[in-house]
């Protein structure tokens, strides 16, 4: 038994991981990072986490059995959305230290190629500020990408009628949800104009309304195209790392 049973770490028994690492067949890991935060009136609050896990899982399956996907970091740096009840946030330094500890856990078990696949824009700055320090402290091959870095301006123009990507719970993220987990897209009872919203930043209030309308342009077909591009791109990034 020299290979993992599933690309999702938490679905394996310990013996699968141990023997795959010892045999050298498990060469890298993906850490998905997301958030638990408002996603307008129609999209579930776990979208950023669910999307990062979805892309990571499919990318890892393309490289099976060489890559494992860790338990995601499901709460991110979301202070900018705290006007909306239900949003959870971590301080950037806390998020960074938790992420470091996950990567260090992998290092201690002998996994030296780690790709952080991000699904929440608020995490990007805090991670990029710390990434060189992570490399220095860990001494491993560790990289960070938000999965939407895969998209060219031409692809966005071709697939997104709004021209906006990623946007927050707008056309792109809603299309992703419709394709990957349609149960997370819930328009029933949505009445945006009568919702008791308390958005303190006028610019966010304006973009929130715009994104609400753009989300109605989303289709599962658009989402499938965008997901496939991201999966191939992430798989290639990981393939380059494990060499």
Domains along the chain with CATH numbers: 9-242 (3.40.50.10310)
Helix ranges restricted to H, 38-184: 47-62, 92-108, 121-138, 153-159, 171-180
Among the listed residues 89, 91, 100, 82, the one whose alpha carbon sits nearest the alpha carbon of residue 34: 89
Q: How far is CA 191 from its chain centroid?
A: 28
Structure letter (DSSP) for residue 137: H
Question: How far is 222 from 75, CA to CA, in rounded Å?
Answer: 27
pLDDT tens digits along 33-49: 999 999 999 999 999 99
Nearest C-alpha neighbor of 37 from the set 167, 153, 168 = 168
Q: What is the pLDDT of residue 40?
A: 98
Tell me the chain's radius of gyration from C-alpha atoms: 18
**What pLDDT sits at residue 1?**
67
Is-cis flag, bond preceding 52, omega within 30? no
Please give the C-alpha separations between residue 73 and each of 29, 46, 118, 179, 212, in angstroms, as whole numbers.
14, 11, 9, 23, 26
Q: What is the mean pLDDT of residues 83-92?
A: 98
pLDDT(81) > 80: yes
Residue 162 has pLDDT above 80, yes or no: yes
Distance CA 104, CA 82 (A): 30
Closest CA to 119 of 210, 44, 203, 66: 44
Which residues, including other chains, have CB under 8 Å from residue 31's CB and lie 6 or more apart?
A: 70, 72, 73, 99, 102, 103, 106, 114, 115, 116, 117
Q: In angstroms, rounded to a whole number, what is the distance separating the alpha carbons of residues 193 and 182?
A: 24
Q: If you write DSSP's letter for every residue of 158-206 in order, what string do you get?
A: HH-TT--SS-SSSHHHHHHHHHH-GGGB--TT--GGGS----SSHHHHH
> Is the pLDDT at 164 greater than 90, yes or no?
yes
Average pLDDT value over all residues in the chain = 98
Confidence grade of residue 118 (pLDDT, cut at 50, 70, 90) = very high
Contact 148, 159 (CB under 8 A): no
In percent, the amount of the chain with pLDDT more than 90 equals 99
DSSP 8: B
């Amino acid at each position: 038994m020299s290979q993992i049973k599933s690309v999702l770490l938490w679905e394996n028994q310990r013996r699968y991981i141990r023997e795959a690492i010892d045999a050298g067949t498990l060469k890298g890991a993906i850490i998905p990072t997301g958030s638990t935060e408002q996603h307008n009136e129609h999209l579930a609050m776990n979208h950023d986490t669910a999307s990062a896990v979805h892309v990571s899982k499919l990318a890892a399956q393309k490289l099976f059995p060489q890559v494992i996907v860790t338990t995601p970091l499901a709460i991110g740096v979301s202070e900018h959305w705290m006007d909306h009840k239900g949003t959870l946030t971590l301080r950037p330094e806390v998020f960074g230290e938790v992420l470091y500890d996950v990567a260090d856990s992998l290092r201690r078990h002998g996994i030296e190629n780690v790709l952080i696949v991000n699904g929440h824009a608020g995490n990007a700055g805090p991670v990029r500020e710390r990434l060189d320090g992570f490399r220095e402290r860990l001494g491993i091959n560790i990289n960070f990408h938000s999965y939407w870095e895969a998209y060219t301006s031409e692809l966005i123009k071709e697939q997104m009628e709004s021209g906006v990507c990623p946007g927050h719970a707008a056309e792109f993220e809603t299309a992703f949800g419709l394709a990957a987990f349609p149960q997370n897209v819930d328009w029933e009872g949505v009445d945006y104009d009568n919702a008791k919203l308390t958005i303190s930043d006028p610019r966010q209030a304006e973009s929130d309304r715009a994104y609400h309308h753009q989300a109605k342009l989303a289709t599962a077909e658009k989402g499938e195209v965008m997901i496939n591009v991201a999966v191939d791109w992430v798989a290639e990034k990981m393939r380059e790392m494990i060499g």
